[in-house]
Amino acid sequence: MDFFGIFNSGDLASFARIAFQIFFYIIFFAIPIFLVNISWELWVRYRRSIFFNKQEYILLEIKIPKDVFKSPKAMEFLISALYTTLGEGNWYEKYWKGQVRSWYSLEIISIQGAVKFCIWTKKGDKNKIESNLYSQYPGIEIYEIPDYTLSFSYDPDTNNMWGTEFELAKPDAYPIKTYIDYGLDKDPEEEYKLDPITPLIEAMGSLGSGNEAWLQIVLRAHKAEDKDPVTGKMIDLKWTKAAEKEVESIIAKTKGEKGEDGKIIPGSNRLLMESESEAIKALQRSISKTGFDVGMRMIYKGEKDVFNMGNLGGLVGGVMHFNSPLNGFKLTGGSAPKHKNIFLLWKDRSKEVIDFEKRDILSAYKRRAFFHKPFERKHFVLNTEELATLFHFPGSVAGTPAFSRIESRKAEAPSNLPI
């Protein structure tokens, strides 16, 4: 009698014996496969940890002069220079040496209302970043500073903290509102500028004593990481191919509706609407520029007696100001990323869970981690134009008195001075 015959006959003992045999053979093959997968994962993380520990990272603060009149396109020049896929080009580099693509962190922070621009990077990339910045902003000053995050530890008895990570509301290929949309690519007169970064700067500059706000934009070069099932070649399904599909989808809507017979209903086709035409142009412009994998997070923290959740409206609103009808940012949650400690889940957002989430996002922030375990998150793609919109030096239109600027431009000494 076959398996189903035994089951239908009600011979439970025979059924249980066959079921146990099937389970035994499955386990016999499944356990080795499981152990191999676990061992491989641990090996990769081990090799990467050795590689990460050998790296030396620094934090650069950029002080800008009072009269910065450059378009954000100048910052786009720097961001383009950060694009590199070196380091994980072959099996030996990735799985034996544990190497990964270089990643960077662009940071805008407010320390008790003093707003600063910082870049976190490998020490070996310091000269590259400095030379590119000086070439576009001759009047700036760049300093290597201690990491401002290391002195803070979350302690619910003495301080409070709120944090979140951002994700895009729509597919990555749809752009946010950029400096070109605001006309800043044309270098308008300072009094006529409408700079989208100023609301964020003003909100950060308004924080009082004992309060700090940190915005972090972690980025690395984006590259094709999907395999074409037909050709076997690497393709970019996340960004370029996604944009092409979106364009095809928009155009398909104009070709008319299909009837029950599968044929186009006569007269149902139409011309592109203006909004659809603009969307196609935006998608094509978006993927025409260099793309980066990006993760964004924000932390607001303060001493317990001065921490004010009312400050979040201006801080989060400063980021949402970059949203456009095509795409924009949304929060992943009130205090931390979506994954949680499995042993605390049963308490359903108890104080212990919330405190764990806060410490988790703080640890990820301090490590500038987003792309690798154990702090791997879901990231998105932004191009150089979008990144330069999010991180650039505003002109005098950002008038908060707490904004750190160089009061006067430095000049070279005359060459004919006596020695």
Integer Cα distance of 102 and 88 in angstroms: 10
Three-state DSSP class for 367? helix
Instruction: Name residues whose C-beta falls within 8 Å of residue 173's C-beta, 6 or more positions apart in sequence.
Output: 239, 240, 242, 243, 246, 283, 286, 287, 381
Task: Say yes or no: 163 and 38 in one domain.
Answer: no
Integer Cα distance of 63 and 69 in angstroms: 15
Integer Cα distance of 257 and 264 in angstroms: 6
* Residue 35 domain boundaries: 1-54
Residues 139-160 as b or e (16 or more Cβ within 10 Å = b): bbebeeeeebbeebebeeeebb
**Strand bridging mode 329-331 / 114-122:** unpaired
Residue 286, in any domain of the structure: yes
Dig out the tokens for 146 from the structure. 């201690």
One digit per residue, pLDDT tens: the chain, 419 residues?
A: 454 455 455 556 666 777 777 776 677 677 778 788 888 888 888 999 999 999 999 999 999 887 777 889 999 999 999 999 998 878 889 889 999 999 999 999 999 999 999 999 999 999 999 999 999 999 899 999 999 999 999 999 999 999 999 999 999 999 999 999 998 888 666 666 788 999 999 999 999 899 999 999 999 999 988 887 778 788 898 899 999 999 999 998 888 777 777 677 777 788 899 999 999 999 999 999 999 999 999 999 999 999 999 999 999 999 999 999 999 999 986 444 444 443 334 445 568 778 889 999 999 999 999 999 999 999 999 999 999 999 999 876 455 555 555 654 454 444 554 44
Task: Say yes or no: 30 and 109 in one domain.
Answer: no
Q: How many domains does the chain have?
A: 2
Task: Say yes or no: 101 and 215 in one domain.
Answer: yes
Task: Say yes or no: 205 and 149 in one domain.
Answer: yes
Compute how many other C-beta atoms are within 10 angstroms of the C-beta atom of residue 397: 14
pLDDT at site 270: 83
Residue 401, in any domain of the structure: yes
Task: Say yes or no: 28 and 144 in one domain.
Answer: no
Task: Say yes or no: 147 and 30 in one domain.
Answer: no
Q: Are 127 and 72 in contact (CB under 8 A)?
A: no
